[in-house]
Structure 1
Amino acid sequence: MTEAGSGSPRTTRATRGTRVALAVAVLVQLVVLYAPAGAGAAPFPHSDKAAHVLVFLVPVALAVLVTGRPSLVAGAFLAHAGLSEVVQGTLLPLRSGDPFDAAADALGVALGVLVATGILRRSPPRSRYSTGP
């Protein structure tokens, strides 16, 4: 696998467990973002912003680990962040779109890319022919 624009081969350390974790993280993200009603009373000030950061950080980091393509993953999740706020503001009557939520989503995307690229840089590349996990 090559990273877009780099010209150098990059293999990922994605295991079946990483792929399953990605699927679960995306499912949780979809529930958090598109549930008809919000989560209720906030446990601390701006906890909703922290939730937005985490709900993007985790699946983005896992997606980068699975694909090895941080630019593609970041672009897709940034588009989803913007779309989710539009959907919340227009189609979910008990929710509202918030530009600060979109900013928290973007921060989560950036942190997820940083975390995953840091992991990939520290990990030795795996051959696609290896028999390990």
Structure 2
Amino acid sequence: MLAAHLAALYWPRVDIQGPVTWTDKVVHVLLFLAPTLAGLLAGVRPAYVVGLLALHAPVSELVQHYFLPNRSGDPWDAVADLCGVVLGVTSVMVGRALRR
């Protein structure tokens, strides 16, 4: 899963036919939702999971913008990434509360 996450964010070239739509943002949410859920459900300290992924969201967009010539960083992608982290944390918290 980590390899797919990193490949999606750092692949040197992404060819998208037609205009980029809201589906791009859904992909970003899912790219950060999955590792958040995986880390939290695996028992990694929430501060580590959330901190690392919250830092990775804007850094990945900056890397795309400045270091990958065929990619462009988008601040709204970073917002979607952070929404994925929040959704992952919320899902785990609600799931644990419902099991009690």
Any conservation in 2 of the 1:42–1:48 contact (CA below 8 Å)? no
Gaps of 5+ in 2: none
Q: Within 2, Cα distance between the matches of 1:100 and 1:109?
A: 14
**How many angstroms does 1:68 deviate by?**
4.9
**How many angstroms does 1:39 deviate by?**
4.7
TM-score (norm 1): 0.67
Quick check: 1:70 aligned with 2:36? no
Q: Identity of aligned pairs, percent?
A: 40
Any conservation in 2 of the 1:64–1:117 contact (CA below 8 Å)? no
TM-score (norm 2): 0.87
Quick check: 1:52 aligned with 2:17? no
Q: Secondary structure at the match of 1:67?
A: coil
Identify the range of structure 1 (91-100 vs 114-123) with the bigger mean alpha-carbon deviation. 114-123
Match of 1:84 among 60, 63, 78: 60
Gaps of 5+ in 1: 1-23, 125-133
Matched positions, count: 100
Any conservation in 2 of the 1:57–1:111 contact (CA below 8 Å)? yes
Change (3 A) 1:91 1:68: closer
* Structure number, greater radius of gyration: 1
Looking at secondary structure, tell me which structure has more helix per residue.
Answer: 2
Match of 1:109 among 85, 94, 97: 85
What is the root-mean-square deviation of aligned Cα atoms in Å?
A: 2.0
Any conservation in 2 of the 1:70–1:117 contact (CA below 8 Å)? no
**How many angstroms does 1:70 deviate by?**
2.2
Any conservation in 2 of the 1:86–1:97 contact (CA below 8 Å)? yes
Q: Within 2, Cα distance between the matches of 1:39 and 1:67?
A: 37
The equivalences for 1:24-63 within 5 A come to: 24=1, 26-41=2-17, 45-63=21-39
**How many angstroms does 1:71 deviate by?**
2.6
